[in-house]
Structure 1
């Protein structure tokens, strides 16, 4: 048994790529491909109607390029998922700075949640696209209803210690039985605490980074807390399946 980390996706994604167009059969959990194809085809069809795309995807007039990305879903170039997603969490994870050996561990330990794909492996080749977990495509159920319960079935079959760093709706697409989750809180001088999304994303990126860099075996929540504490994070264990990261 090893540790497996599930990251949330990001709305922002890098452009371009050098990989061949999307091939669903190369993605992890190929049993999910019928749902991936259904959602992908609906997304491409939606792209033919600019106004409907903006409404369904919550896009403003300055984001129309996102519709073009969706229109070219099956034909655009691809790149590894860990390089496709961008933003605060992925900046903290800092994949580009990792050694070749650590990047190899990323491929085996990291997965990324996705409204379109359910979940992908860090090394899976995917195109740029726009679809959020809270979206509802015309003629389909909500994204959450579309993925339940198939995504959970696939993730529950993973024979590893799972640290699920997805948040909100992406966690609900397919909860993992027995997975450990993480909450990041900011502690004020008076002892009061609050959840702040920016720090939440940043520290989850740091958590994932330490879990691919560590040489220690992480098979339970106590080992997880020890690795993160040794890396300088203030960690509290809150029950059998949740850690709390406390920041100033």
Structure 2
């Protein structure tokens, strides 16, 4: 589950990179030859994850379902889809693109039901961070609302916003002291893309980065090198995340 405190953190970019990662298991050190993918876009305002068709290397279309996570029916829909896939497959990967406001719109009495669904489908939260203290405050709020579901997860420092050392509020937070240094959460980084590449391509599937280029112009050798380096680095991070025991 791709989550964060606000828009503009790189959630859509991470969703597309995750899809690319699972589409090429043979080059990424994954244990299985192919993972059935389930894609959900809960950002109903900016449907960047579900705008472009996503296809497997074979050409088969991978549907991306638009869902509303501010109502319990949206969570129930995810659970039904996951259970249906697991009837025919030993494992699958569901990528859920969450808007920052989804939990706040939920009726107060439904958090226990949400938490139960999240446990049954074995969710792992990937929480994206910029340098703002708001990212930490929102994560703490999530943990208060869903204490049993936010005891484990992955903090992802997006280096688009600065060097690792620049995330001052995170490095001095009580949350990091309690959960990274002791138990539950792990910390990784998202490598930096140049602003032009990130701003232009982050809403596209990875294969279209190379096909469409920038403003209908073919990518230069330098941009190709930058994208492939980014892809290699973030795939290493995602392999480490996929190896977390809960998955």
Structure with more of its chain in helix, by fraction: 2
TM over 0.5: no
Tell me the TM-score normalised to structure 1 length.
0.31
Tell me the TM-score normalised to structure 2 length.
0.31
